[in-house]
Amino acid sequence: MNFAGRKVLVLGLGDTGLSMAKWLARQGASVRVADTRAAPPRLAELKRSLPSVPASCGPFREEMFADIELVAISPGVPLAEPAVRRALNAGMEIAGDIELFAQALRERRAQIIAVTGTNGKSTVAALAGAMARAAGVDCEVAGNIGPAVLDALMRREDAGRAASLWVLEVSSFQLETTTSLAADAAAVLNITEDHLDRYRGIDDYARAKSRVFSGDGMQVLNRDDPRSLAMALRGRRTRTFGFDAPRRAEDWGLLERGGESWLAQGANALLAVREMKLAGLHNAANALAALALCRALALPLAPLVGALREFKGLPHRVELIGEGDGVRWYDDSKGTNVGSTVAALAGLAQGDTRLVLIAGGDGKGQDFSPLRSAIERSARALVLIGRDAPLIEAAVSGAGVPIRRAASMDQAVALAAQAAFPGDAVLLSPACASFDMFRDYRHRGEVFRLAVERVIDAPKH
């Protein structure tokens, strides 16, 4: 699309909003920016890099949209925002960064893998990127995982080095405003309750996720997740993955051979789960999804498996951060919804291992009741922090484990250390957003890490 001379309003001035402003200005558009916050996080950078672009801070006003031809909307700005709704009703064109990227990539010969789902999408995107690079492909991993896709595209343009493959992590918020993304292979990993403060219900949320399957590329679906599996489209090529043995030769799953579990395609066992550096059984599912996506593009299998064997995972995603007095400490601060925490508990509670769970924060309107059975099966104790600690306690009461409240992460870690026995693991997997106590999930994870280091290093009496 030719943006030269078009009047564009960018809504939101975080990383994504700034990337859209820069990209559109580079295309010759007449750009304005608006953000409801008094001090948007990237305002200083906008003024430095695009000093001629006007920015408005404060509530969106109707006059901001006068004579605008395109609204470029950040994923954090809901389509239900009244000013945005009026623009939609007036027939104004609205697009997000993934849509702008998709339109730009039409003119470039590159393949696309797109990954979405409630949980695991960052790990799968990063792993697929590592696999593709091991197979000799010039690959760029971008999107919700960071960097923003348009930042990555501009950096590639400036270097004069086009990517052969883009691996994109895309959120439901980004997919709401995406119509042109025709990925060569795309996956919906799973669907569990999340962002219900923004969606009418889980079906509405799932519909947003299903938009990743526009076009005619390969669909990668989770056999163990009914909502993912139900997204299979008539006439489309599909590959499935799951914890059971694959029934079709082209599908992916786990085989039991010689008393241990193996990642497999069809009847072909590829790698013993114990050989993976990724912690937790749930990461076996992530590995199968990444393999399915890469093989959908006919990448050679041997380097994919080799890359998987060496992949250590991402920070704050069931990351082993320390061990002391026989207790292992895991940071899963990125576990911001109930489904993610349930998966982390199930993945780590293998054999005789019992877990002390630290959870709590901003629950985003979720139903916490699925935590109860997971805690009953896997946990020795539960330590709660944050605003919605009372809601979690009410939902899981009767699970048969002691529940303690903590006013800070330091206190939570101290209480967890007291509750844990040698051979146990302590898991920070909050099932909640972080913004009631921390800047973001990364900040929460770093505060946890520092508290754990103090406990491990404390003099023993």
Residue-by-residue DSSP string for 8-50: EEEE--SHHHHHHHHHHHHTT-EEEEEESSSS-TTHHHHHHH-
C-alpha span between 46 and 237 (Å, rounded): 43
Residue 260 φ/ψ, nearest 5 degrees: -140, 165
Closest-CA residue to 336 (of 190, 450, 203, 444): 444
Pairing status of strand 218-222 against strand 238-241: parallel
What is the spatial distance between Cα 168 and Cα 187, in angstroms, rounded to a whole number? Answer: 11
Order of strands, edge to edge, in the sheet holding 403-405?
319-324, 327-331, 425-428, 355-359, 379-384, 403-405
CA dist., res. 250 & res. 214, Å (int): 22
Task: Give the torsion sign (CA, 287, 121, 323, 421).
Answer: negative
Residues 65 and 83: their CA atoms lie apart, in Å, by 8
- List residues with catalytic annotation: 121, 144, 195
Strand order in the sheet with 268-272: 139-143, 165-169, 111-116, 185-188, 218-222, 238-241, 252-257, 260-265, 268-272
CB 131, CB 290: distance < 8 Å: yes
Extract the tokens encoding 60. Answer: 């969106």
C-alpha span between 36 and 43 (Å, rounded):
12
**Burial tier of 100 (Cβ tally within 10 Å: 0-12, 13-18, 19+):** buried
* Sequential DSSP letters for 295-335: HHTT--HHHHHHHHHH----TTSSEEEEEETTEEEEE-TT-
Which residue in 422, 421, 374, 424 sits closest to 400, CA to CA? 374
CA dihedral 120, 122, 126, 127 (to 10 degrees): 0
